Amino acid sequence: MRTTENKINEVYPYLRVKGAPAAIAFYQTVFGAKERFRLTEPGGRIGHIELDIGNIVLMLSEEYPEYGILGPQAPGATGMAIHLHVDNADELAARAVAAGATMVREPADQFYGERSSLIRDPFGHEWMLGHEIEKVTPEEMQRRFNALFK
């Protein structure tokens, strides 16, 4: 039973891959994907990229084993998450946990202008729940992303 309205505004598939440059090239060649923008670590690892494929936005990142973010080839990995932009990420995360989900990452303000969390549903799927807290340009996101590695 829903007690409050928490509108889902956008849904994004978010792939986690080992070998992001090869995956991006594949999606561009096969599906005609067009790059919107990317965030790249100073060492070259792709932290985030958004690709337009038809009328959807596909989000993708390189593996981040230090955060449990692994591609589907890794044993026990999910390989993807579904990213929901909602009205209130904290409320939706709490509702998910109350219904049996596991909190993987508590809600927190992020450098890219969202307050977000990560939950794993009782069936093993991961959901990123976020709401906008500020508008951030891709250039500013890259600057903030770089600062995380200093």
Q: Confidence band (pLDDT; 50, 70, 90) for 4?
A: low
pLDDT score of 1 = 40
Q: How far apart are CA 99 and CA 22, in angstroms?
A: 38
What domains lie within the chain, and their CATH numbers? 8-147 (3.10.180.10)
List, in sequence order, every residue forming a beta bridge with 105; answer none if it has no partner. 118
The chain-wide mean pLDDT, for the chain, equals 91
Q: Could you read off the pLDDT of 36-61 as tens digits, one per residue? A: 999 999 999 999 999 999 899 999 99
Res. 2 pLDDT band, cuts 50 70 90: very low
Residue 111 has pLDDT above 50, yes or no: yes
Nearest CA to 125 out of 70, 76, 82 is that of: 82
What's the whole-model pTM score?
0.77
Span 111-125, mean pLDDT?
90
Choice between 38 and 78, residue whose per-residue pLDDT is larger: 38
